[in-house]
Amino acid sequence: MEQLVDNRYRIGRPLGSGGMAEVYLAHDDVLDRDVALKVMSGRYADDEEFVERFKREAQSAAALSHPNIVSIYDRGEDASDTYYIAMEYLPGGTLKDRILERGALPPETAAAVALQIAEALQAAHAKGVVHRDIKPHNVLVTSSGDVKVGDFGIARAASSSTMTKTGFILGTAHYISPEQAMGEPVGPRSDLYSLGVVLYEMLTGTLPYDAETPIGIAMKHVNGYLAPPKILNPTIPDGINAITCRLLAKSPNDRYADAGELIEDLERVLEGLSPSNDTTRMMIHGTNTTGSSQRTTAMPPPGREDYGRRRRRWFVPVLLLLLLLTAVGGIAYSQVGGNAVQQIPVPSLENARSIEEAQAIADEFKVVPGARRESREVVGAVVEQDPAPGEEAARGSTITVDLSSVQVTDLPNVEGRPEEEARDILDEAGFDVEVEVSESSTQDDGRVVSQDPAGGKGETAEVGSDVGITVGSGPAEAEVPELAGQAPEQAAAILADVGLELGAQAEAPSESVPAGQIVDQQPVSGTELRRGSSVSVTVSTGPDLPDLFPIPDVRGQTAETAQTTLWNALFASEVVEVRSNLPAGTVVSTIPAANTPTDPYAVTVTVNVSSGPPPAPEPPPQAAPQEAQQAAP
C-alpha cells in the first residue's frame, strides 16, 4: 500500500538516505509533479533537539533560490508527526557517481563544475547560510550537464549560535576544513576549502588526504602535506592547479576572501588567462598548504603560452627544476660534486591493503595515489604500481599506486533457478538480494525470470551490492481443473498447483459417487479464474437411504386393532386369513416380521389373521357285519 504524507505526497522508490532522513521519489498529488521528498527518520521524532535541527535545515534551505541550488518546494509536518521537505527532483546522478564511473574529469570540465558550485555558495553565503557539508555526493549533475548543490543538511545561518562544539566534527571527514576538524567556528571560507577538496578529486580522481580512521583523515587536513594535483595529473593547467592549492590552504586567511573572488579566478582560467596576482604570488612564495609556511608546494604561476615565452624566458630553468622536484616528490637531489642520485630496487607493493601500508613497505620512497578502479581486492588496496617491482629508481623518488575503489567479485547467473536456490547462490557470493514478483508462464512460476545486473561468465559486481531478481508468479489467470471423484484434500493440492484455492464444501447424497468424493464444483472445469480465487465443491455422502422404522408387534391382536396400530406407525397393511390354532380373527404374524426395520413408504405390511383351526378329518367308513363274516375263512 502506498504511503501518503500530509495527504499530498505519494511515496515512491527510495533515492538515498543519510543520518537525519530518508529521501524518496514522491508524487505531489496537488500539483501533479514528481518531487524528492526528504522524510525525517522516525526514530528521531521524539528527539526535540534533532527535530529543531531538521526544521532549521528546512528553513535555511528554503531561503535560498538560485539556478545552481536545488529548489525547496514545501516543508512541514503531517498528522502522524512526520517531518518532511519537498525538493526539486533531478533525474541523473551525483558528481560522486560521475567521478567513480569516469575517474578524473578533464581539467576544464572540473573548473566549469567548480564555477557553478562556487556560484551556488556565493548565493548561500549572501543569505548568511554556510553549507558545512560540501562534497560531490551533495552535488547533482542533470542530464543537460547543469550542476546543482543540494542537501543543506547541516547548514545554519552564519549569524545564529553555533552547533559545532569542541571535539565535534560536523561534515564528512574527507571534505572538512582544518578549522572544522579542530571544532572551531566555521564560516564561508570553510565551504571554499571543501570545494577545493572536490575540485582536487575531480582533477585527480583521488582525495588529497586519506587515512584508516575519520580522525586520522581530519588530522591530515590540519597538518598533513598536500601534494599539488599537478603532481598526480601533469595535464592540469598551472592556473587551475594554483586555484586548487589556494582553496586548500590550511589557514582560512590564505584562501579566497569569498566565493566571488574565486569565481573571478575560475572565469579567468577558463578564458585562458592567469588567475589573480594573489593566487599567483601564493604559488611562487608558498602557502600554508603543507603545515609549514616555508615550503613551496606547487607549480609557478600560469599564463598564456605566448606571454610566458616572451616575458619570462628567465623562468624556464627554474620551471624545469621545479618540475623535476615535483616528479620525485620534492626530495630528489644531487650530491655536492655532481655524484648521481642513488638507485635502489623498487619493492613490491601489490599486497598492500592501504596506501599507508604501502608507504610503510616502501619507506625509502614517496608513495602517492594514482587512479582508483574496480578490482577483486578490498577497497583501498594497491592493485598496480609504477615503477614496477624490481625496477631501479632513485631513493626518495615517487611510486604511484593505483588503488581499489570498489571490490568486485563474480556475479552468478541465477535465471531459471527456483527463488530459494537463487537467493542462496547470490548470498553465498556476497550480494544482497532484492526480489520482485511478476506474471509469467506456468513453467516459470516460482523461478527467476530475470536478474539485474545480469550475471554469468565474465560478469562482476561490487561485493555487498544489490542484485535484483524477478520471480515468476505464473499467469494472472488459471484454468479451473476437473475435481470430480477427488477427495477434498486431493482437490486442494490440485488447485494449489495452478494458483487457486479450495473454497466452501457442501454435502449431498449420490447414487453413483462414493461417499467422501466430489460430485460437483463451482465454477466448472475449464473456467478461467484469477489466481488466488477459490473453487467451491459438493462432496458425496453416498446413496440417499430412507428412514427405517420397526414393524410394530401386533400378534394376538384382532385384525382391526392390528391395522390401526400399524397405521399409527405409518405402515399400510392388508389382511390375509390363514389357518391357525389361534382363535379366528386373531393376528398370527406379519410380513415383514415384527420389529424388522422397514421403510413405511415402501412396504405394505401383510397381516396374517387366523381363520380358526382347520376342520377335524372325517373317520374312515365301517364295513357291514354280514360282509365281514362272509369274508372270514
596-619 pLDDT per residue, tens: 999 998 899 999 999 988 887 777
pLDDT at position 423: 93
Q: Residue 292: is its pLDDT beyond 70?
A: no
Q: Does residue 8 lie within any of the structural domains?
A: yes
Q: Does residue 218 lie within any of the structural domains?
A: yes
Task: Tell me the backbone φ, ψ of residue 534, rounded to 5 degrees.
Answer: -115, 155
pLDDT at position 22: 86
Contacts of residue 526, Cβ cutoff 8 Å, sequence gap at least 6? 479, 480
Contacts of residue 549, Cβ cutoff 8 Å, sequence gap at least 6? 569, 570, 571, 597, 598, 599, 600
| C-alpha cell read off for 628 | 365281514
Instruction: Mark whether 199 and 260 lie in a shared domain.
Output: yes
pLDDT at position 487: 96
Q: Does residue 448 lie within any of the structural domains?
A: yes
pLDDT at position 254: 94
Task: State which of 37, 62, 89 marks the end of a domain.
Answer: 89
Query: Which carries the bigger pLDDT value, residue 28 or residue 443?
Result: 28
CA gap 409, 88 in Å, rounded: 36
**Neighbouring-strand partners of residue 536:** 522
Task: Tell me the backbone φ, ψ of residue 545, rounded to 5 degrees.
Answer: -75, 140
Instruction: Mark whether 293 and 146 lie in a shared domain.
Output: yes
Instruction: Mark whether 132 and 154 lie in a shared domain.
Output: yes
Q: Does residue 268 lie within any of the structural domains?
A: yes
pLDDT at position 505: 95
Q: Does residue 188 lie within any of the structural domains?
A: yes
Contacts of residue 364, Cβ cutoff 8 Å, sequence gap at least 6? 344, 395, 396
One-letter amino acid at 410 equals D
Section 429-457 average pLDDT: 87
CA gap 501, 535 in Å, rounded: 6
CATH, residue 32? 3.30.200.20
Instruction: Mark whether 463 and 494 lie in a shared domain.
Output: no
Q: Residue 87: is its pLDDT beyond 60?
A: yes
Angle subtended at Cα 529 by Cα 524 and Cα 533, rounded to the nearest 5 degrees: 100
CA gap 295, 30 in Å, rounded: 60
CATH, residue 144? 1.10.510.10
Instruction: Mark whether 292 and 190 lie in a shared domain.
Output: yes
Q: Residue 335: is its pLDDT beyond 60?
A: no
Q: Does residue 343 lie within any of the structural domains?
A: no
Contacts of residue 227, Cβ cutoff 8 Å, sequence gap at least 6? 208, 329, 368
pLDDT at position 419: 92
| C-alpha cell read off for 545 | 437411504
Q: Residue 179: is its pLDDT beyond 70?
A: yes
The residue assigned the cell 575503489 is: 405
Instruction: Mark whether 236 and 261 lie in a shared domain.
Output: yes
CA-based torsion, 186, 192, 195, 200: positive or negative: negative
Instruction: Mark whether 238 and 288 lie in a shared domain.
Output: yes
Q: Does residue 59 lie within any of the structural domains?
A: no
Q: How confident is the model at residue 91 (pLDDT cuts 50, 70, 90)?
A: confident
Q: Does residue 63 lie within any of the structural domains?
A: no
pLDDT at position 461: 86
Instruction: Mark whether 404 and 424 lie in a shared domain.
Output: no
Average pLDDT of the chain is: 82
How many domains, in total, are found in the chain?
6
pLDDT in tens, 116-132: 999 999 999 998 888 88
> What is the gyration radius of the CA atoms in the chain, in angstroms?
49
Task: State which of 408, 433, 455 marks the end of a domain.
Answer: 408
Give the helix/strand (H/E) hosting 241.
helix 238-247
| Active site residues per annotation | 133
Closest CA to 196 of 287, 330, 91: 287
Instruction: Mark whether 225 and 366 lie in a shared domain.
Output: no
CATH, residue 462? 3.30.10.20
Instruction: Mark whether 108 and 15 lie in a shared domain.
Output: no
Contacts of residue 167, Cβ cutoff 8 Å, sequence gap at least 6? 183
Crossing angle of helices 188-204 and 107-126, in 10° steps, is 170
Contacts of residue 11, Cβ cutoff 8 Å, sequence gap at least 6? 2, 3, 4, 5, 24, 26, 37, 39
pLDDT at position 153: 55
Contacts of residue 253, Cβ cutoff 8 Å, sequence gap at least 6? none
Instruction: Mark whether 168 and 250 lie in a shared domain.
Output: yes
pLDDT at position 524: 95
CA gap 26, 23 in Å, rounded: 9
pLDDT at position 283: 58
- Residue 51 is given by DSSP the state H
Task: State which of 423, 442, 472 marks the end of a domain.
Answer: 472
Instruction: Identify whether the C-beta of residue 149 lies closer than 8 Å to the C-beta of residue 187.
Output: no
Residue 368, domain extent: 349-408
What b/e readout covers 32-69, taking b as 16+ CB neighbours within 10 angstroms?
eeebbbbbbbeebbeeeebbebbbbbbbbbbebebebb
CA gap 566, 590 in Å, rounded: 10
Query: Which carries the bigger pLDDT value, residue 318 or residue 136?
Result: 136
Strand order in the sheet with 139-142: 92-94, 139-142, 147-149
Contacts of residue 24, Cβ cutoff 8 Å, sequence gap at least 6? 11, 12, 13, 14, 15, 36, 37, 39
Instruction: Mark whether 289 and 390 lie in a shared domain.
Output: no
Please indicate, yes or no, whether the overall pTM of this predicted structure exceeds 0.85.
Answer: no
CA gap 576, 587 in Å, rounded: 10
